[in-house]
Amino acid sequence: MLTNRNILLCVGGGIASYKSAALASKLVQAGAHVQVAMTRNAQQFVGKTTFEALTRKAVYDDVFIEHDPSKIAHIDLADEADLIVVAPATANLIAKLAHGIADDFITTTILAATCPVIVAPAMNVNMLEHPATVRNIEQLKQDGVQVIAPGVGNLACGWVGKGRLPEPEDLVATLSTFFEDKYLAGRKVLISAGPTVERIDPVRYLTNDSSGKTGIALAEAARDAGADVTLVHGPLRIGLPTGISTIAVESGEEMLEAMLRDYETQDIVIMSAAVADYRPSVQYDQKQKKIHGPLRIELEETTDILKTLGEQKQHQLLVGFAAETTDVETFAKQKLIRKKADFIVANDVSRSDIGFVSDENEVVVFGKNDSVTRYDQQLKSTLAKSLMRQFAEALA
């Protein structure tokens, strides 16, 4: 994906700039043509020589020092770049980019660029959460810049929190998605993920073990393929991807409403959420007291969201999941017909190495035209890419 791509790596003045050296190295190893630009402050942390040795190219840091007088470097580099990456992006660099300030090599070049720009913020958690930084990041997103969410962990300043530059290998993986085939460009994809929560009283509820990993992986695959993605999700313990719209819900009823809100305009709709089949018939406003004896809670069926979507389907390609422990194929095929879906992705949740909380899955996809496609055990992220391809190919 990265072979022969021109990548301009802009290094800001933060301690995380040491990771940018590894990033430059990995991008070169992946076959990219890497050109580095640095701020003066970045050079307080890592020297130009390091990047020049890794990329075998001169590092740019001054608009007025031309390495080749026949060229105007900040314009040429802006024109040549297929992608510009700012890593680490300091609060200062982000503020300048958000306001169109061009007072050094990096900011001037980015202002002259028309290619996609990715910004990877890395800083102290309080700087990251300062209203000014939040506002500036929001402005960059509105300007079409992709912002990579910082990681959570130990920060150089001694704080533990959000603000770490993602690891170089993760950054390389994110950058390579930029060059993937945009086979879903112009398409809208709606995905549900995670568990639902059905309240008994204000502090108690019924839920399940769904991690939301499959839905999130599908959302990322659709986003990387160029789709406009909306993810409707129940409570999750894992972070949400950037570059997609998200709607947080709790109950099945809330999920149903969110899925129907913009259903008509969608091209692909995937119900990967583990929706609770039952909810308490009565939901108490007050915390219920112990009754010193057996307690019965009456449950009533929730609305089947997939079935409702199937009944209201017009042009959309509708995909459901089937989590089974026995007779996977029989039950999956029944669901395909009963819920009027185009595909049912079936998996065996009796196995502990795949399924709900695992990073891997093995599935069989049943199509309404009697097609059966088997996918061997693999990472959910890899599987999601193959599934999304299959769904896209079935689009009218």
Catalytic residues: 157
Residue 182 phi, psi dihedral angles, 5° rounding: -90, 60
Output 45 or 343, the one with its CB closest to ligand CTP.
343
3-state secondary structure of 280: strand
| Nearer CB in complex with ligand CTP: 128/319 | 319
What is the smallest separation between the CB atom of 193 and ligand CTP, expressed in angstroms?
Answer: 9
6-11 and 33-38: which strand pairing?
parallel
Separation of alpha carbons 125 and 153, rounded Å: 10
Query: What distances in angstroms separate CA 208 from CA 6, 191, 211, 327, 351, one per listed residue?
Result: 46, 18, 9, 22, 16
Residue 287 annotated as lining a ligand binding site: yes
63: nearest Cα among 92, 93, 40, 94 = 40
Stated as kind and residue range, the H or E segment containing 119 is strand 117-121
Shortest approach of ligand CTP to residue 346 CB, angstroms? 9
In the bound state with ligand CTP, the residue whose beta carbon lies nearer, of 61 and 304, is 304
In angstroms, the CA 92 to CA 108 distance is: 14
Under the rule (CB under 6 A), what is the footprint of ligand CTP? 252, 271, 273, 275, 277, 302, 304-306, 320-323, 331, 335
Query: Is 277 annotated among the ligand-binding residues?
Result: yes
Is 339 annotated to bind ligand? yes
- List the Cα angle 177/179/184 in 5-degree steps: 80
Q: Is residue 361 within 8 Å of residue 215, measured between CB atoms?
A: no
Place of tokens 């040491």: 18
Minimum distance, C-beta of residue 248 to ligand CTP, in the bound complex (Å): 17
| CB of 255 vs ligand CTP, minimal distance in Å | 8
CB atoms within 10 A of CB 322: 24
- CA–CA separation, 130 and 43 (whole Å): 25
335 is in an annotated binding site: yes
Minimum CB distance to ligand CTP, residue 179 (Å)? 32
Is the Cβ of residue 267 or residue 304 nearer to ligand CTP in the bound state? 304
Query: d(Cα 22, Cα 27) in Å, to the nearest integer?
Result: 9
Tokens 């020049």 identify what position?
A: 52
Nearest distance from residue 270's CB to ligand CTP, in Å? 8
Phi/psi class of residue 340: alpha, beta or left (left: φ > 0; alpha: ψ in -120 to 50)? left
Instruction: Pick the closest to residue 314 from 290, 332, 340, 335 (CA basis).
Output: 340
Residue 183 per-residue DSSP state: T
Beta partners for 378? 361
Known binding residues for CTP? 277, 287, 321, 335, 339
Residues belonging to the binding site are 277, 287, 321, 335, 339
